Amino acid sequence: MKIKTIKVTAKGQISLPVDIREEIGIQEGDELMLVQKEDYIILEKIDKAAAKFKDLLKHSEKVAEKLWRNKKDEIWNDV
């Protein structure tokens, strides 16, 4: 585990230290996922994060589709 101190610019931007970018393999143009819980922030490369959440996303899409296609909820369309 590495701990680094970085500053936030007036535009809300941050710079990731070179040694951490190199170790993780972050390059210009890569997308990162930002997860916020309470006062904690986690950054993770999208390709690694996507693999971890692939099954969860698949399950949540099925649940959402089941809820959206619920005929009982269509009663609210008549109001």
CB 4 within 8 A of CB 17: yes
pLDDT digits 0-9 by tens, 13-39: 999 999 999 999 999 998 888 889 899
Whole-number percent of the chain with pLDDT over 90: 35
Helix/strand/coil (H/E/C) assignment for every residue in 1-70: CCCCCCCCCCCCCCCCCHHHHHHHCCCCCCCEEEEEECCEEEEEEHHHHHHHHHHHHHHHHHHHHHHHCC
Q: Regarding predicted confidence, which is higher, 73 or 37?
A: 37
7 contacts 14 by C-beta, under 8 angstroms: yes
The whole-number average pLDDT for the span 28-52 is 82
